[in-house]
């Protein structure tokens, strides 16, 4: 059992949790994730490690409440409650070394997983340029943390409510055209990663993305997280989650992400209905 020590609201349906998980915290590295199960009858869901403290034995998770399990976590679990299972750290860590100048692009909730990667790259001696974006100011978070680990930080919002107006691909393209950039990391919604990858491919700069396909066991056994990379089937949980963005079959990945949309909606509706009955 893993006790929730801190819970903080970051934005609409977006929360930060600091959880006691000493074994995970001791082994965690940038780019890895965990699979959690809230209780004995809960489903398994993957969450990227946003931060960790090996000395304190804690990990930090940033959770967007979208489906049944994330909503249940947000509405029924608070400080002092315990998450039954946390398996991890899982996946291959980011390849951190001294490249030179790197850009870390974060879209929406992608700010959380980009943060430890940017920190590790900065500690390795790279010049780190951060590009963070969201639909509006209310969906931005951790900008102070990101700024602290970046040499430069550019912020953009779709509606212009904070930073510059536009998509993250716009400052990315400008940087690639005006600087010698050695590598790019892009993490966020699949569509955003797709277009960041296309932008980097046009500029001839390697780009790394973190894939978020449907995942169940997180150990390569179920095959649910398969993705096509460079014409081959790869499993995001054990071969990734990071892959070269220009090699990913984005259309197939996006289609697979929507494969169980109706079932996910049904599960959420059934849980909300049961919750309503229980609170009458």
Q: Packing angle between helix 190-203 and helix 169-178, nearest 10 degrees?
A: 20
* pLDDT at residue 153 greater than cutoff 70: yes
When the pLDDT of each residue in the chain is averaged and rounded to a whole number, the result is 92
Query: If you average pLDDT over residues 217-231, what whole number do you get?
Result: 86
pLDDT given for residue 113 in this prediction? 95
The Cα 7–Cα 72 span in angstroms is: 14
| Residue 24 binned pLDDT confidence (cut-offs 50, 70, 90) | very high
Mean predicted confidence (pLDDT) in 50-60: 97
DSSP secondary structure code for residue 248 in this structure: B
The per-residue pLDDT for 280 is: 65
Neighbouring residues of 247: CB distance < 8 A, sequence distance ≥ 6:
229, 230
Is omega for the bond preceding 89 within 30 degrees of 0, making it cis? yes
The predicted model scores a pTM of: 0.92
Across the range 192-216, mean pLDDT stands at: 92
Per-residue pLDDT at 224 = 84
pLDDT confidence band for 258 (50 / 70 / 90): confident
H or E element that contains 75 = helix 68-76
Does position 20 have pLDDT exceeding 90, yes or no? yes
Nearest-angstrom CA–CA distance, 254 and 91: 21
Angstrom distances, CA of residue 86 to CA of 39, 155, 170: 11, 33, 38
Question: What is the rounded average pLDDT of the residues 16-24?
Answer: 96
Q: Write the pLDDT tens digit of every residue in 265-277.
A: 888 888 888 877 7
Write phi, then psi, for 263 (nearest 5 degrees). -65, -40
pLDDT surpassing 70 at residue 206: yes
| Cα pseudo-dihedral 257, 228, 98, 164, rounded to 10 | -40
Secondary element (H or E) of residue 22? helix 22-27
pLDDT of residue 102: 98
pLDDT at position 148 over 90? yes
Whether 56 has a pLDDT exceeding 70, the answer reads yes
Tracing tokens 């990379």 back to the chain, one arrives at 229
Average pLDDT over residues 80-99: 95
pLDDT over 80 (residue 167): yes
CA dist list (Å): 254 to 65, 190, 213, 249, 250: 20, 7, 8, 9, 6
**Percentage of the chain with pLDDT > 70?**
99
Q: How far is CA 99 from the centre of its chain?
A: 23
pLDDT of residue 245 exceeding 80, the answer is yes
How many angstroms separate the CA atoms of 100 and 192, rounded?
24
Domains identified in the chain and CATH numbers: 2-90 (2.40.30.10), 101-257 (3.40.50.80)
The per-residue pLDDT for range 98-146, each reduced to its tens digit, is: 999 999 999 999 999 999 999 999 999 999 999 999 999 999 999 999 9
If one compares 41 and 104, the residue with the highest pLDDT of the two is 104
Q: CB of 139 within 8 A of CB of 133? A: no
Evaluate if residue 261 carries a pLDDT over 90. no
Determine the Cα–Cα distance for residues 190 and 73; give it in Å rounded to an integer: 24
Give the tokens for residue 244.
Answer: 């070269």
Q: Above 90 in pLDDT, residue 260?
A: no
DSSP string over 194-227: HHHHHHHHHHT--EEEE-----SSSSSSS-TTEE
């Amino acid at each position: 059992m893993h006790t929730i020590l801190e819970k903080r609201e970051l934005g609409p349906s977006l929360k930060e949790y600091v959880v006691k998980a000493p074994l995970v915290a001791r082994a965690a590295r940038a780019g890895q994730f965990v699979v959690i199960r809230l209780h004995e009858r809960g489903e398994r869901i993957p969450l990227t490690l946003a931060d960790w403290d090996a000395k304190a034995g804690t990990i930090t998770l940033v959770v967007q409440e979208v489906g049944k399990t994330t909503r249940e976590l947000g509405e029924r679990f608070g400080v002092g409650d315990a998450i039954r299972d946390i398996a991890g750290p899982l996946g291959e860590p980011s390849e951190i070394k001294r490249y030179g100048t790197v850009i870390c692009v974060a879209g929406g909730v992608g700010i959380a997983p980009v943060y430890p990667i940017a920190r590790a790259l900065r500690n390795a001696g790279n010049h780190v340029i951060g590009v963070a974006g969201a639909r509006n100011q209310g969906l931005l978070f951790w900008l102070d943390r990101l700024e602290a680990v970046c040499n430069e930080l550019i912020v953009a919002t779709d509606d212009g409510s904070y930073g510059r107006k536009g998509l993250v691909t716009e400052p990315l393209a400008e940087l690639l055209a005006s600087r010698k950039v050695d590598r790019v990391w892009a993490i966020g919604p699949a569509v955003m990663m797709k277009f960041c990858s296309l932008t980097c491919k046009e500029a001839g700069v390697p780009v790394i993305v973190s894939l978020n396909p449907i995942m169940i066991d997180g150990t390569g056994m179920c095959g649910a997280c398969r993705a096509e990379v460079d014409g081959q089937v790869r499993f995001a949980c054990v071969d990734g989650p990071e892959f070269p963005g220009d090699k990913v079959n984005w259309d197939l990945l996006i289609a697979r992400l929507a494969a169980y949309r109706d079932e996910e909606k049904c599960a959420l509706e059934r849980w909300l209905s049961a919750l309503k009955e229980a609170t009458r």
